[in-house]
Every structure is written in structure tokens, then in C-alpha cells.
Amino acid sequence: MNKLVSIIVPCYKQAHFLDETLQSVLNQTYDNWECIVVNDGSPDNTEKVAKQWCSKDERFKYISKENGGLSSARNTGIKVSNGEYVLPLDSDDIIDANFLSTLVPELRKDESLAIVSCYSLFFDKGVDNIIYKLKPKGTTHLNLLYANQLIATSLYKKKCWEEVGGYDESMKNGFEDWEFWLSITKRGWKYKIVEDFLFYYRKSRKSMLVDTIKNHSEKSREYIYRKHKELYIDDFDNCMRVLFYQLKTHRSSEMKIKNSIEYRIAKLVSRPLRFFRK
């Protein structure tokens, strides 16, 4: 018997991509799914687009809520879902037609698995314009300590979401999926990477991931390290190696910038301005 999969699609200011995302859901060769679009207080025409899909196929459902962030939107959709498996899907990304038919059997046949993921293709504007290929690895929480090996759009058992209390809604600046995977796998659950390119990630200059890496990376990492400190204490020696390597890399990059011709020219040009400010 095929398991029901609940696909959760939070949407905030992405109505212009929503049709393409939901079409990829409708294209699935695995047909036992429900798709819940969660309007997270979006100011655009998300509601209109979502309701059009609800009228096309009864497997599409729509929820509207006040803006609360990505974790809140995902949790809201999962709370009303009926599936035994959950698939988060951002409203600007695309899944291959064989995504569910490939990943669901993997989750069914191995009781030790909580999560199944796959290789990803990063695209710009259209899926025919691939700019990067992601091939994650690993099977346990040890592979997730210092880098997130799992894309947010990974298939997992709903009971694991229940075990950890859902996504951490205090994490509104990104990496909430990384923290979520750690919360699950540190309990002894494993994950698996299917070595097929079945997920298409839309590369955007203004995406949440870009903003996180640019402005919130250190703070979000610190939050994860502190919340799961027992894992990093157990891995203390390696943790120190990683942190000091990152510090050394940052310093080297900083020195490279300071020694560049462009930096020296800018410094010379700004000297008169600094003099007048004094």
C-alpha cells in the first residue's frame, strides 16, 4: 500500500513562481499525495494562485495565516496534514516527476531511516540553465555537525517531526532545516542520499539562504551549536579543528582583501575624507 505523502508549500512573496512549483507536484508519477499551500501572510496574490490549483485537483489544499516565518508556516501545514510522510517544498523550487516514486520506497523499506534526500541541481531562471550540482553525503548526525548535508526538500517520517516538536520557530534567519535534521538524527535515526538529481533549487540573489549566509551565518551557527552542545562536546577535538580552520580561512581572506590593489586605492582615495571628519 502506498503511503500518503503530505507536501507542505509555504509561500511568502513567491506567487509568481508558485504555478511552476505546483505543476511539478501535479506531474508526480506517485499519485498518493496531498499538497498544502500555506500563505504566510504574503502581500501578493498567493491566495488567488493557490485557490486556482485547489479547483483543479482536490489533492491541493490552502491555508492562510499571519506572517510568522518559514518554520511557523511549515509547522502550520504539517499540523493539519494527514500523510505518514512529509515533504517540505519551497514555493519557488521544483521536484522531478519521479521524486516521490523514487524516494518513498527507500523510506518504506528501511525502518532505521527517518529521512531520504537526493542530489540537487541549482538553476537560474529556467531548469535548462543549471549553474551548480550538489551531491551531499553521509548517513548520521555526525555528518551534519558542521555542514548541512540535507536539502530542506527532503522526505521524512511525520512521527519524527512529532518527536522533536516540529521546526524551531525561533529560528527566523535561516538554517532552521539544518537544526531540524540534527534534532532528528541525534536520536539515532539515519538518513539516506539517493544518488539521482531529482530536485531543482532556484538560485536567487534575494533568497533567504543568501541572506542567511551573508548576514546571519555566525549567529545561526552559534544557536545550533549551543542548542545541541552535547553533540559538539562529544566531538570536541574535531570541533576545535573546524572552528580554528574557519577562523584561519576568514583571516586569510581578510588579509587578501587588505593587500589587494583595489583596497589600497580605496584607502588612499578616502584619506582626505577621514581628515575632514576629524
Domain ranges, ordered by start, for the chain: 5-206, 236-277
Q: What is the pLDDT of residue 260?
A: 65
Q: What is the pLDDT of residue 251?
A: 73
Residue closest to 98 by CA, chosen among 153, 29, 2: 29
Give Dmax over CA atoms of the chain in angstroms.
77
Q: Which three cell numbers stand for residue 166?
A: 516540529
Q: Which three cell numbers stand for residue 234?
A: 562529544
Q: What is the pLDDT of residue 264?
A: 57
* Digit-coded pLDDT (tens) for 155-214: 999 999 999 999 999 999 999 999 999 999 999 999 999 999 999 999 875 555 555 556
- In this prediction the pTM is 0.86
Helix (H/G/I), strand (E/B), else coil: 102: helix
Q: What are phi and psi of 11, to 5 degrees?
A: -135, 125
Question: Which DSSP helix (H) or strand (E) runs through 132?
Answer: strand 126-134
Q: What is the DSSP string of 193-238?
A: EEEEEEEEEEP-TT-HHHHIIIIIHHHHHHHHHHHTHHHHHHTHHH
- Please identify every stretch of the chain with a pLDDT value under 70, giving residue numbers as ranges: 1, 205-215, 253-278
DSSP 4: P
Q: What is the pLDDT of residue 37?
A: 98
Give the whole-angstrom CA distance, residue 172 versus residue 167.
Answer: 11
Does domain 5-206 fall into CATH 3.90.550.10? yes
Q: What is the pLDDT of residue 211?
A: 54
